[in-house]
Amino acid sequence: MPINQPSGQIKLTNVSLVRLKKAKKRFEIACYQNKVQDFRKGVEKDLDEVLQIHQVFTNVSKGLVAPKDDLQKCFGTTELDPIIEEIMKKGEIQLSEKERQLMINKINNELLTIVSAKCINPKSKKRYPPTMIHKALNELKFSPVLNKSTKIQALDAIKLLVSKQIIPIVRAKMRVKISLNVAEIETIDKIKILINDNSPQNNGEINWIFNGLIDPVTYRDLVNLCDGKGTIQVLDMAVIDDSN
């Protein structure tokens, strides 16, 4: 079934294909370039802004629409929106070699900026420039990929750099403010261990306020400790600690 309009066949331009193989069948959707990544990041939620044509194909270039029987068998439904969303999230973006390299370069630059902002040299207390981070990651054979968010890849890169220490590097500290309404000594003591605050405020028997630096890897532990007992507020995502 060709893709036709009254004026004739549609010529797809500036198109990115997303392809998903499921139950030995191939399904494709035609999207606008860059919009797929926006959708995956949650920046774009409107399918009509992402899709060139609101349809599922077996072959976009030939205009072959996927049969409803195949959709039902492979996805358990013939409703297009949930099928398109699954293809969008799980499918492989089909790019030309030039487009792929441009996208990889973009992700790599964003990744290096994140790592540079979140890490420091523990000796000099200074951040590494992205060029130095890039050189270290190359030595560790770390390369960005297209089907994973830049933020997650940046965190993976930080874990690798910190564990291998081919350059002296640590995560910068986070500054947080914790307000508690509990009298549980055990909870207070655990928080004191995790946060660098030499003078927490105790306004009465059960009112505690901590304002200090933490290791980012302990943030989730603090959130769990504060659950139902108070609040935790992030004041700064990356602080250089000059106290040592």
Domain 172-239 has CATH 3.40.50.12280: no
Query: Please, are residues 171 and 158 in contact by the beta-carbon 8 Å criterion?
Result: yes
The values of phi and psi at residue 181, to 5°, are -125, 65
Mean pLDDT of 109-117: 94
SS3 content of the chain, % helix, strand, coil (to 5): 40, 25, 35
Domain boundaries, the chain: 4-94, 97-170, 172-239
Whether the model pTM is above 0.75: no
Instruction: Write the CATH number of the domain with boundaries 97-170.
Output: 1.10.10.900
Residue with tokens 């655990």: 190
CATH superfamily ID and name for 4-94: Ribosome maturation protein SBDS, N-terminal domain (3.30.1250.10)
Residue with tokens 């081919």: 166
pLDDT tens digits along 222-239? 888 888 888 888 888 777
pLDDT tens digits along 162-207? 999 999 999 888 889 988 887 778 888 888 888 887 777 776 666 8
> What's the pLDDT band for 1 if we cut at 50, 70, 90?
very low
pLDDT tens digits along 30-66? 998 778 878 888 888 888 899 999 999 999 888 899 9
Q: Please determine whether the domains at 4-94 and 172-239 fall in the same fold group of CATH.
A: no
The values of phi and psi at residue 92, to 5°, are -95, 130
